[in-house]
C-alpha cells in the first residue's frame, strides 16, 4: 500500500523537534551538530534571533496580499540585491526550481523579442542539477531525473563541465544561452575553475549568448562571497538564487541584467506567492546579517579553518578519504568508502552531513559556525573514521 506521503523520499528514521544555531534536537533530547543546513538552506543556523524576530513581527501584520498590490518588503529586497550584484532587476518566487525556470523563460523571451525565436537552445553542463520542474530536469539532463517523465522539454544541450573547448564547439545558430552552476552542488561539490567561468563570459559575448548562473546552492554567502562567481571576477546576465537567501523560509529569486530581462513585460511571468510579505521580511533579515560588517570574511575564515582540518583528517585516513574540495563553507570529502555509509555512521555519532555525486561526503554547515563547531565536527569525524578502521 502506498504511504500517505508520496514515497519520493527515503527519510532517515529520525525527526527533530527544535533547532538552535548549529544544533538540532530530537523530542527526547538528543542533540545533533547540523552540517547540512537543511541542504544549504538554514544559512544563519536554526532559530537565529534576528530572523525569528523579523518573521514574528511580519506574522502579526500581514501574510499575503498578492502581487496585485505593492509589497514594500519586496521593493526593499530587490533594491538590496540589485545594489549588491550585477543585476538590475529581480523576480521573486518560492524555490530554486522556479528561479531557474524563470531564468529559462527570460532567455527565450530575450531572443524572441530580438526577432530570433529560432535561438532557444541552452548549453548546460553534464552532471548538473537545476531543480525538478519539467524544464529544469531537461536542463539538468540527468537520466535518473528525466526517466519516465518524457517527452523531455526540448532546447537543452549538454557538454562536459569545466571544458571550454567542448562548450564552444556546441554553440550553434540556435544557441541562446549558457547555464552552469559556478560550483556544482548535487554533482559533487565541484568548483568551476575561474578561467573557465571567464571563458564562458567571453564565449557568451562573442556569440551574443546570455550567461546564466545557477547559484541556488553556492550563492548567498556560501562560498565566502555574496555570490560565488565574484571569485572569478565575471558577471552573468541571469542568476538563479534560493536556498540560503530564505534562511529556511521558502524563497527564491531570479536576478537579471536590464539587457537580458527587458522583454519581460507585465503579464509575461508571475507567481501567486512569490515575494509575499513573510518571505520578504525573512529575506531582508537574512541580508542584514549576511551583508553586515565582516560576515563574509567570517565565512572565508571558517571555510579555511574547516578545510585545513579536513585536509589533515584526509591525510591521516588515506584509505578512506582521498581529498577535500570546495569553496568557502561548501566542502566535499572525496571518499573511497561508500559516502552513504560514512554519512550514516556520522549520524550515529550525532553529526549530520550530506552525500553528493561521485562518492562525495558533502558538508554545508550554517554560515554562523565558530571554531568550536569545527572542533566538534572534526572530533566526530575522527572518532567515526577510527571506528571504521
Ligand atoms: C537545490 C537546487 C535547485 C532546486 O532548488 P529547489 O528549491 O529544490 O527547487 C536548483 N539548482 C541548484 C544548484 C540546487 O542546488
What percent of the chain has a predicted confidence (pLDDT) above 70?
100
Q: How far is the CA of 354 from the centre of ligand 1 (A)?
A: 15
Residue range 206-229, pLDDT digits in tens: 999 999 999 999 999 999 999 999
Nearest in space to 326 (alpha carbons), one of 6, 2, 132, 35: 35
96 Cα nearest atom in ligand 1: 5
Q: Whose CA is nearest to atom 15 of ligand 1?
A: 217
Backbone angles phi, psi at 337, to 5 degrees: -70, 155
- 245 CB near ligand 1 (under 6 Å): no
- 185 CB near ligand 1 (under 6 Å): yes
Q: How far is the CA of 41 from the centre of ligand 1 (A)?
A: 10
Query: How is residue 229 written as a grid cell?
Result: 562567481
Residue range 45-87, pLDDT digits in tens: 999 999 999 999 999 999 999 999 999 999 999 999 999 999 9
Nearest in space to 94 (alpha carbons), one of 301, 331, 270: 270
Q: How far is the CA of 2 from the centre of ligand 1 (A)?
A: 27
- 124 CB near ligand 1 (under 6 Å): no
The best mutation among 100, 140, 192, 238 to test binding of ligand 1, ranked by most ligand atoms within 8 Å of the C-beta, falls on 100
186 Cα nearest atom in ligand 1: 15
- Average pLDDT value for residue range 180-200: 98
Identify the pLDDT of residue 142: 96
250 Cα nearest atom in ligand 1: 7
Identify the pLDDT of residue 389: 83
CA distance 16 to 33: 12
- 217 CB near ligand 1 (under 6 Å): yes
Q: Which CATH class is domain 295-388?
A: alpha beta
Q: How confident is the model at residue 233 (pLDDT cuts 50, 70, 90)?
A: very high
- 214 CB near ligand 1 (under 6 Å): yes
Nearest in space to 131 (alpha carbons), one of 146, 111, 120: 146
- 128 CB near ligand 1 (under 6 Å): no
Q: Give the N- to C-terminal CA distance of the chain in Å, as an integer.
A: 41
Domain segments of the chain: what residues?
62-290, 295-388
Residue range 11-33, pLDDT digits in tens: 999 999 999 999 999 999 999 99
Q: Whose CA is nearest to atom 6 of ligand 1?
A: 96
The fold for domain 62-290 equals: 3.40.640
Q: How far is the CA of 167 from the centre of ligand 1 (A)?
A: 23
CA distance 201 to 32: 42
Amino acid at each position: 500500500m502506498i504511504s500517505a506521503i508520496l514515497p519520493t523520499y527515503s527519510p532517515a528514521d529520525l525527526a527533530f523537534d527544535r533547532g538552535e544555531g548549529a544544533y538540532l534536537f530530537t523530542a527526547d533530547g538528543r542533540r545533533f551538530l547540523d552540517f547540512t543546513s537543511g541542504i544549504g538552506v538554514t544559512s544563519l543556523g536554526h532559530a537565529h534571533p534576528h530572523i525569528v524576530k523579523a518573521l514574528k513581527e511580519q506574522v502579526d501584520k500581514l501574510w499575503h496580499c498578492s502581487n496585485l498590490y505593492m509589497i514594500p518588503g519586496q521593493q526593499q529586497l530587490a533594491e538590496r540585491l540589485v545594489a549588491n550584484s550585477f543585476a538590475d532587476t529581480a523576480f521573486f518566487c518560492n524555490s530554486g526550481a522556479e528561479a531557474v525556470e524563470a531564468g529559462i523563460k527570460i532567455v527565450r523571451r530575450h531572443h524572441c523579442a530580438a526577432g530570433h525565436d529560432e535561438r532557444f537552445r541552452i548549453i548546460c553542463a553534464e552532471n548538473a542539477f537545476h531543480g525538478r520542474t519539467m524544464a529544469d530536469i531537461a536542463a539538468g539532463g540527468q537520466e535518473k531525473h528525466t526517466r519516465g517523465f518524457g517527452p523531455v522539454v526540448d532546447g537543452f544541450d549538454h557538454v562536459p563541465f569545466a571544458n571550454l573547448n567542448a562548450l564552444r564547439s556546441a554553440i550553434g545558430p540556435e544557441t541562446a544561452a549558457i547555464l552552469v552552476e559556478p560550483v556544482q552542488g548535487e554533482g559533487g561539490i565541484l568548483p568551476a575553475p575561474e578561467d573557465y567561468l571567464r571563458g564562458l563570459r567571453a564565449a557568451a559575448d562573442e556569440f551574443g549568448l546570455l550567461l546564466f548562473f545557477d547559484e541556488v546552492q553556492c550563492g548567498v554567502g556560501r562560498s565566502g562571497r555574496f555570490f560565488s562567481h565574484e571569485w572569478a571576477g565575471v558577471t552573468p546576465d541571469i542568476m538563479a538564487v534560493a536556498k540560503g537567501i530564505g534562511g529556511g523560509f521558502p524563497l527564491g529569486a531570479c536576478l537579471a541584467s536590464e539587457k537580458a530581462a527587458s522583454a519581460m513585460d507585465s503579464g509575461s511571468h508571475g507567481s501567486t506567492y512569490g515575494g509575499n510579505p513573510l518571505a520578504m521580511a525573512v529575506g531582508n533579515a537574512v541580508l542584514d546579517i549576511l551583508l553586515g560588517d565582516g560576515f563574509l570574511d567570517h565565512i572565508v575564515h571558517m571555510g579555511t579553518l574547516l578545510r585545513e582540518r579536513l585536509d589533515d583528517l584526509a591525510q591521516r585516513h588515506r584509505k578512506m578519504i582521498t581529498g577535500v574540495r570546495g569553496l568557502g563553507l561548501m566542502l566535499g570529502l572525496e571518499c573511497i568508502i561508500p559516502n552513504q555509509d560514512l554519512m550514516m555512521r556520522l549520524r550515529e555519532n550525532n553529526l549530520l552531513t550530506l552525500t553528493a555525486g561521485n562518492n562525495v561526503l558533502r558538508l554545508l554547515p550554517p554560515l554562523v559556525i565558530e571554531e568550536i563547531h569545527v572542533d566538534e565536527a572534526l572530533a566526530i569525524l575522527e572518532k567515526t573514521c577510527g571506528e571504521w578502521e
